[in-house]
Amino acid sequence: MISVPPCLSVVNLPQRRRGAELTQRIMNLTLNVWRQKNGNDKGGFVTYKVNDISEDMSFLEMFDVLNERLINEGQEPIAFDHDCREGICGMCSMHINGRAHGPWQGTTTCQLHMRAFKDGDTITVEPWRASAFPVIKDLVVDRTAFDKIQAAGGFVSVNTGNAQDANCLPVPKDNADDAFSAAACIGCGACVAACKNSSAMLFVSAKVSQFALLPQGQPERTDRVLNMVKEMDALGFGNCTNTGSCEAECPKEISLENIARMNREFLMATLKK
Amino acid sequence: MSKLDSKIPEGTLDQKWTTYKSTVPLVNPANKRSIEIIIVGSGLAGASAAASLAELGYKVKVFCFQDSPRRAHSIAAQGGINAAKNYQNDGDSVYRLFYDTIKGGDYRSREGNVHRLAEVSANIIDQCVAQGVPFAREYGGMLSNRSFGGTQVQRTFYAAGQTGQQLLLGAYSALQRQVGLGNVQMYSRHEMLDVVIVDGKARGIIARDLITGKLERHSGHAVLLCTGGYGNVFFLSTNAMGSNVTAAWKAHKRGAFFGNPCFTQIHPTCIPVSGDHQSKLTLMSESLRNDGRIWVPKKQGDTRKANEIPEEERDYYLERRYPAFGNLVPRDVASRAAKERCDAGFGVGASKMAVYLDFAAAIQRYGKQQATKLNEEHASAARITELGKEVVKEKYGNLFEMYQKITDENPYEMPMRIYPAVHYTMGGLWVDYNLMTTVPGMYALGEANFSDHGANRLGASALMQGLADGYFVIPYTIGAYLSGMIRDKGIPTDHEAFVATEKEVQDNLNKLMNIRGSKSVDHFHKKLGKIMWDKCGMARNANGLKEAIEEIKVLREEFWKDVRVPGIQNEFNVELEKAGRVADFLELGELMCMDALNRNESCGGHFREEFQTEEGEAQRDDANYMYVSAWENKGNNTYELHKEELKYEKIKVSARSYK
Amino acid sequence: MTKFLTSSVGKKAVMALSGLFLILFLVEHLYTNIPLVYGDGGVEFNETSHSMVHMLIIRIIEVVLFLAIFVHVAQAIILTKENADARPIGYKIDGTKKTSSWISRNMGLTGSIIFFFIVVHLWQFFVPYRITDSVGHNEGQLTLAESVVKAMENPAYVFLYLVSLVILAYHLSHGFKSAFQSLGLNNKKYTPILDMIATGIALLFGIGFAAFPILIYGAKLMNKDFLHWNM
Ligand SMILES: Cc1cc2nc3c(=O)[nH]c(=O)nc-3n(C[C@H](O)[C@H](O)[C@H](O)COP(=O)(O)OP(=O)(O)OC[C@H]3O[C@@H](n4cnc5c(N)ncnc54)[C@H](O)[C@@H]3O)c2cc1C
Ligand code: HEM
Ligand code: HEM
Ligand code: SF4
Ligand code: F3S
Ligand code: FES
């Protein structure tokens, strides 16, 4: 039996059917934004007032409006990371009112819309905080640590041209679906930002799980998990104490189950090697 | 015309690539180790090329402006990737994919290239599956397919609505493997700002480290540009905020011809603009047209809500006009039809610039199917709807969710409102069969080149082309050039050409920094976008294009007098990055209009209002325009047109009909 | 092996195994404490305790037990330190309370309180009974059972016990599930089951152990002799 899909009442969005016709709500807000010139600067919060923000704007469009104003006033705009603005590239990364990617569940910063706030709100915006993610400028942090973890084992060693026909390798649909759910990770780092220990377990376990679930991942299964965990530890991420914030904040709702799977993979691998 | 040699190999169409592969000169493994290749871009094209070339033993350097190669805009592709696997046993073949692509491109692409693309398409799927890309599967464990516009077979492989992401992560993992092995050096947050030419050959690049703002020189034996499309010249598009033409444009200014710049794809199903604050447009994948029906009210200016309009008062205009392909006509056709309805006053939503994409029928159909499957013979209407929604959710859940987040409307209950938006650029650097530009040693792959899609790209074919170029074409074709370079020990970066090029780049940056004008970069970008969209967008005419050319010239002058770039060069400076990109768009925009003006016909995405049939369909002029326009930059925004005639040996050129 | 022990996952496995062992010990401990309520003057309780002291296996388990406590605590200190180092600059606004439970974030705190409790507890019973031999060995000394009753007639101790047991229950309500997650023995299907068991264990130990100080102090208030009280 299929149960009622939770998504039909899509996440925790307000169920107001506004229709395209109604007028937009306009609001005035106070922003507390972390400003830091560069990696060596101490940095601090600066307060800005922004007015006439439409609820149809995305959170980043609200920042665009503010930046346009700062430029016109001869000030330096606020640096923040973003690219696709569709919730898929994983580049945007703001810690909004204490929450990685803000208050909406399963949503990246760029997909967060101003409907989530109300007139007169004060919003505090900070960069991801973790020693493995040093601040580059303002809200921009360095996440190359994730690339290093990937390089340590997040792949199947198959050179171009080595592949057999794709359908020679049937994969049970359930495994394929689970592998896909794990592979949906966008590498944004919100899990690290949200975790009280700055642990990267959710990110790493999502990759490990994807390959552990697929037949293609089997030959390197043991080495992969050992190497990726080793690299993760070396980069200065914290240890998971199973608090679960990462899953709650992950924009792709990657499941904690993956962390359990990675622990299992790691323990089994240790027994073998 | 001697400058344009497409180097298509001899032989019959289906033997060209095979013969080529077995006769192309090779580079032996020992020599490969001392050959350095610079790859700009880490999207599907760049990442796959980098991984494959590094596997072969070349020393590779990869550049991207994002913080990680995994974030290239290929990540955003939703719908799927085509391949002539014929797993569905529905009559697909290499020939049919080849034919559909040529026809879809309105007979403005090269037979030789497109056939090669169709040939290697199947290998791409094999390679990706071997890498662990989790494509959608059937219960039996076999790969699943869906259909896309402009075809009558199911040949599109997909991973929910995140196919580009999964493919890119596959290529990225192969790339990171080579990074880990030390065969690839990755330079993220680096922007290439110029190519260095020595003795007429591309021998390196100047890049800016976006964190420190410092300029760097990188030398190599060949330079591969895999830098994506330039749709952002319109300001609003489905491209990422950072997508730009800078790398391709600098290459163009150093001698690479620009092919078919005016061929732009406007995608029919995007979320409409909601206000002036809009920074980008969001695509709703073409796959939705598998199940969604597009309609507008039959009455002009109808203000009723969608579900209050009875069935008989709805105009399913695509099904009406194109019975054979219905909602699955190619993108250019669907986009123009939507524009036509809205211009005629039938549009919906607050702005009246939108049409409905409705899933009610699909929900009912799937609901009934599902009820039968579950042996619920007497399922109530509500139960059927519920079951139907579940199926639709499984297929398109993430897209529906995205739609709701952006519009605050629930597409399971109310039809989506959609409108066309700029999406893809078929134009790009002109390349020959080897993917080499007119500058020796400089290659262009992926969306950055002009090659395989003619005047209109079929859905799910860009991913195919990007990966074909990177995994299966360039590893062979680059040998043809590099085999002649094995004695070359590389050029030191203190060579005068590097010094001179770096100085030019530096001067340009200084110039931008020193204007200290009064308007932001975005101000100019938005203005340019509006000119382009109004006059060089979905429909164009000679007068409009001439006006646009003048307006862009004025805007460009204003830009160089009045743009304000805050901060300093030697730091992380986003406005400076943007300023450089917009400066290049301001030149490209003019060339696009010139190209559109030159092409006195309508074909594919290029629709000239003066050239249409009585029914409003595009009217090609094969006698005079069956060529690729390749523009040479003559400096100071002057250009010379070169023509590469297109010869069709295998395919009979005919009017494109989807009726 | 050292690679394993110094890895993040390995450390958590050690934490989990030592924690689970401590839980097993508590099961045994609760069980051996039950005779206290028999109302037989503490005879059976004293005898069991006495005979257990002379069983080799029990002595070994005891060593393991102290080792486990040591390892669990040491590892807890290392983890807490490393985790603090992983975020040198904290957030101005911390939203973790919206995304995780209080107990999961405060295992170090609750663990420390339990540790303090254990020290006091050992000082009270284990040291006199097993080290200084000042309880339960000769005539004229209190029997072990009597010493327990004596201690728990003191309201200060009762208070300490009750607080500690609530904290222990909390620690276990998260710790038990957490151990399974850390050992990779969890998945979507097991999660609700583990949740239930964890709550069960927390209640069992919380109520089970708390019964002793409550009953003993209650008996005192009602002027009853606890060890001969037939409830
Ligand atoms: C929303 C959306 C959905 C799509 N859906 C589909 C689909 O379903 N099926 C399909 O086939 N196609 C689809 N497409 C088209 C397809 O995704 C793209 O054409 C294709 O991915 C382009 O890949 P690429 O490798 O050429 O370039 P990109 O992936 O755009 O990569 C460009 C790379 O170049 C780098 N770069 C650019 N300029 C510079 C510079 N100056 N210096 C350094 N680095 C630079 C960037 O950092 C990036 O790494 C879609 C496109 C969009 C926008
Ligand atoms: C002696 C003092 C103690 C301290 C300082 C302490 C501290 C901690 C800490 C910091 C954790 C880590 C949190 C986590 O990983 O989730 C933890 C976990 C745990 N503790 Fe304790 N604890 C103590 C006593 C106990 C006792 C007496 C028991 C059992 C009876 C116990 C059972 C557990 C369990 C089962 C876990 C979960 C392990 C895991 O997550 O893998 N602890 N403890
Ligand atoms: C509240 C009810 C409790 C009573 C009546 C009680 C009683 C005792 C007694 C009499 C001893 C000494 C026995 C011996 O050394 O052989 C003892 C030892 C011990 N108790 Fe408890 N205890 C209680 C709760 C706890 C709790 C909650 C813990 C753990 C958190 C605990 C941990 C220990 C330990 C570690 C020892 C020493 C090991 C041993 O000797 O077995 N006790 N307890
Ligand atoms: S697991 Fe989730 S939060 Fe972490 S990087 Fe991936 S998508 Fe982001
Ligand atoms: S929030 Fe942190 S503690 Fe573990 S469960 Fe997630 S990594
Ligand atoms: S900008 Fe790409 S995920 Fe937000």
Tell me the pLDDT tens digit for each residue of C33-76. 999 999 898 999 999 999 998 899 999 999 999 999 999 999 99
Which pLDDT tens digit goes with each residue over B517-545? 999 999 999 999 999 999 999 999 999 99
Mean of pLDDT values over B356-382:
93
Ligand 2 centroid to residue C126 C-alpha, Å: 22
Digit-coded pLDDT (tens) for C90-126: 999 999 999 999 999 999 999 999 999 999 999 999 9
What is the pLDDT, as a whole number, of residue B530? Answer: 96
The residues with which B297 forms a beta bridge, in sequence order, are B314
Distance CA A10, CA C83 (A): 35
Mutate to test the interface with C, among A199, A243, A255 (most CBs of C within 10 A): A243
pLDDT, one tens digit per residue, over B80-127 is: 999 999 999 999 999 999 999 999 999 999 999 999 999 999 999 999
Instruction: Confirm or reject: Cβ of A206 under 6 Å from ligand 4.
Output: yes
pLDDT at residue B564 greater than cutoff 70: yes
Asked whether the predicted pLDDT for residue A14 surpasses 80, the reply is: no
| Tokens found for residue B238 | 């489905």
pLDDT, one tens digit per residue, over B247-277 is: 999 999 999 999 999 999 999 999 999 888 8
**CA gap A96, A249 in Å, rounded:** 12
> What is the percent of chain C where pLDDT is above 90?
85
A 12-71 → B contacts, CB under 8 A: 13-21, 24, 37-38, 54, 56-58, 60-61, 64-65, 68, 70-71
Q: CB-CB: which of B129, B240, B279 is closest to A64?
A: B279
| B58-67 confidence digits (pLDDT tens) | 999 999 999 9
* pLDDT at residue A230 in the model: 97
pLDDT band at A4 (very low <50, low <70, confident <90, very high): very low
Q: pLDDT grade, residue A41 (50/70/90)?
A: very high
Task: Give the residue-averaged pLDDT of A65-82.
Answer: 96
- The C-alpha atoms of residue B423 and residue C100 are separated, in whole angstroms, by 41
Highest-pLDDT range among A15-24, A132-141, B389-398: A132-141
Confidence category of residue A3, pLDDT binned at 50, 70, 90: very low
Ligand nearest to the CA of A110: 6
Tell me which chains share at least 3 CB pairs under 8 Å with chain A.
B, C
Placement of tokens 């999406």 in the chain: B423
What is chain B's mean pLDDT, rounded?
A: 95
Question: At A23, is the pLDDT very low, low, confident or very high (cuts 50, 70, 90)?
Answer: low
CB contact at 8 A, B187 and B61: yes
Q: Are strands B293-297 and B355-358 parallel, antiparallel or unpaired?
A: antiparallel
- Total residue length of chain B: 659
The answer for residues whose C-beta is within 8 angstroms of residue B302's C-beta and 6 or more apart is: B309, B313, B346, B348
Which ligand approaches the C-alpha of residue C14 most closely? 2
pLDDT at residue number A11: 37
Residue B38 bridge partners (DSSP): B61, B223
pLDDT at B555 over 80: yes
CA–CA distance, B169 with B162 (Å, rounded to integer): 11
Q: Give this prediction's pTM.
A: 0.95
Q: Give one DSSP letter per residue of B309-331, joined into a string.
A: S-GGGEE-HHHHH-TTTGGGS-H
The finding on whether C177 has its CB within 6 A of some atom of ligand 2 is: no
More confident of the two residues B414 and A23: B414
Tokens, residue C37: 């309520």
- Pairing label, strands A44-54, A26-35: antiparallel
Residue A9: other Cβ atoms inside 10 A: 12
Q: What is the mean pLDDT of residues C157-161?
A: 95
A60 touches A80 (CB < 8 A) = yes
CA A31/CA A51 separation, integer angstroms: 11
Residue B221 has pLDDT above 50, yes or no: yes
Residue B622: pLDDT band with limits 50, 70, 90: very high
Structure ipTM? 0.95
Task: Give the three-state DSSP class for B186.
Answer: strand
Tell me which residue in A1, A20, A172 faces B349 most closely, judged by beta carbons: A20
In this predicted structure, the answer to whether residue A225 has a pLDDT above a threshold of 90 is yes
Q: Which residue has the higher pLDDT, A230 or C4?
A: A230
Report chain B's terminal Cα–Cα distance, integer Å.
Answer: 38
pLDDT exceeds 80 at position C230: no
Predicted confidence at residue C231, as pLDDT, reads 66
B556 contact partners, CB below 8 Å, separation of at least 6: B586, B587, B590
Instruction: Please say if the pLDDT value at position C148 is more than 90.
Output: yes
The pLDDT of residue A110: 97
Residues with CB under 6 A from ligand 1: B 40-46, 63-66, 72-74, 76-81, 163-164, 191-192, 226-229, 238-239, 243-244, 246-247, 283, 423-424, 446-448, 459-463, 466
The pLDDT of residue B485 is 94
Q: What is the token pair recorded at B246?
A: 């800078």
d(CA B495, CA C229): 100
Residue with the bigger pLDDT between B614 and C183: it is C183
Please report the pLDDT score of residue A76 as a whole number: 94
A270 Cα–ligand 5 center, Å? 22
CB B65 within 8 A of CB B242: yes
Of the candidates C19, C4, C5, which has an alpha carbon nearest to the alpha carbon of residue C73? Answer: C19
Q: How far is CA C168 from CA A255, C34, C202, in A?
A: 28, 19, 8
Residues B290-339 have pLDDT tens digits of 899 999 999 998 989 999 999 999 999 999 999 988 998 988 899 999 99
Can chain C be said to touch chain B, i.e. do they have 3 or more Cβ pairs within 8 angstroms? no
